């Protein structure tokens, strides 16, 4: 049951992403030839007036096939004939829809379950926080220069920093204060000894504000993870593919539906940010090409665009296959 819930939830993410592309294509007068969810052979299909709607065997990914997307086809309903700005609006709509979905989920979870803020509610006796003079009511706003929107941000940056000195910026009654703290060792984990203020019943507008904070937090955390990746600090063992995602989703679903919803919001933000990376075959790769065309007022050769996207697709598929092989056959890592 939990696995089915995970597959359904992941399918909603893909559906939302592709629906963003689909709806903006329609708004811009582009004919959508096929709207599909999943990959592989079709298991269900229905032909609409202009669009073939299909469900494929493997619940990974999806696509919106537009008339004139890959070939120089002009005429009514052609993607090729649209201006770069109109094309960008269609491409960027997928990631934007994922962000909107995540914010709606985060708002709902916050409204019904509350949240933990980055305001200090309690200080552990004898802790580094007490020694540094942190007081109840102080709000931690930055950790090592990184903006902290939520308590999760604080925990993440402290964990990443380890047991080295950490610089905190706090909003206090006396104004903005900076503290340097060395975390203590608590069963192998670096802690500074604070307990956050928890809001159990958040009002409507408070939930709106907090969902925005959590959304910004997830975007920031995703970008922070990418920095670690491109700095060479991460290895293949730090990555998880669809198998790992479904496994974690199933475990989270067994805790509660609210926990699964929060995880889906996390995945939705990740999907949005990763898709906006200017890499071939990703939405960001398309946007990069269109921005070049917008600035130069010249269309790039279709042959170049085709090679660009093919290379990106091959690299992404190869990476996904490698990660999936690791998840299935070498779950402990290479």
Question: How many CB atoms are located within 10 Å of the residue 193 CB?
Answer: 21
Question: How many CB atoms are located within 10 Å of the residue 290 CB?
Answer: 23
18, 69, 169, 210: the active-site residue: 18
**First-to-final CA distance of the chain:** 31
Go through the chain and tell me how many residues it has: 334
Q: Where are any strands of DSSP class E within 150-254?
A: 166-172, 175-181, 184-186, 189-191, 194-199
Which residue from 143, 150, 144 is spatially nearest to 217, judged by alpha carbons?
A: 150
Helix (H, G, I), strand (E, B) or coil at 172: strand
Which residue from 266, 246, 242 is spatially nearest to 254, judged by alpha carbons?
A: 246
Q: For the stretch 93-122, what's the b/e string if a residue is b when 16 or more beta carbons lie within 10 angstroms of its beta carbon?
A: bbbbbbbbbbbebbbebbbebbbbbbbbee
Residue 18 annotated as catalytic: yes
Give catalytic residue positions. 18
């Amino acid at each position: 049951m939990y696995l089915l819930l995970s597959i359904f939830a992941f399918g909603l993410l893909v559906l939302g992403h592709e629906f963003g592309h689909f709806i903006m294509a329609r708004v811009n007068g582009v004919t959508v030839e096929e709207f599909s969810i999943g990959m592989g052979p079709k298991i269900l299909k229905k032909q609409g007036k202009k669009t073939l709607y299909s469900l494929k065997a493997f619940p990974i990914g999806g696509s919106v096939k537009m008339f004139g997307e890959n070939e120089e086809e002009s005429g009514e309903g052609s993607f090729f004939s649209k201006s770069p700005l109109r094309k960008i609006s269609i491409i960027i709509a997928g990631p934007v829809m994922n962000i909107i979905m995540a914010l709606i989920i985060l708002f709902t979870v916050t409204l019904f379950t509350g949240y933990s803020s980055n305001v200090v509610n309690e200080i552990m006796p004898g802790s580094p926080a007490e020694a540094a003079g942190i007081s109840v009511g102080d709000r931690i706003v930055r950790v090592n220069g990184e903006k902290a929107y939520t308590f999760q941000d604080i925990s993440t940056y402290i964990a990443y920093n380890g047991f080295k000195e950490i610089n905190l910026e706090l909003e206090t009654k006396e104004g903005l204060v900076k503290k340097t703290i060395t975390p203590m060792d608590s069963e192998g984990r670096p802690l500074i000894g604070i307990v956050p203020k928890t809001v159990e019943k958040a009002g409507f507008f408070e939930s709106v504000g907090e969902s925005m904070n959590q959304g910004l937090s997830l975007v920031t955390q995703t970008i922070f993870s990418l920095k670690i990746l491109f700095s060479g600090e991460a290895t293949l063992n730090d990555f998880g593919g669809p198998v790992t995602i479904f496994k974690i989703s199933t475990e989270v679903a067994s805790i509660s539906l609210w926990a699964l919803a929060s995880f889906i919001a996390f995945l939705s933000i990740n999907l949005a940010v990763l898709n906006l990376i200017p890499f071939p075959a990703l939405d960001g790769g398309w946007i990069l090409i269109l921005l070049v065309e917008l600035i130069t007022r010249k269309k790039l050769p279709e042959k170049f665009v085709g090679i660009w996207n093919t290379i990106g697709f091959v690299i992404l598929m190869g990476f996904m296959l490698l990660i999936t092989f690791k998840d299935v056959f070498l779950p402990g890592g290479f």
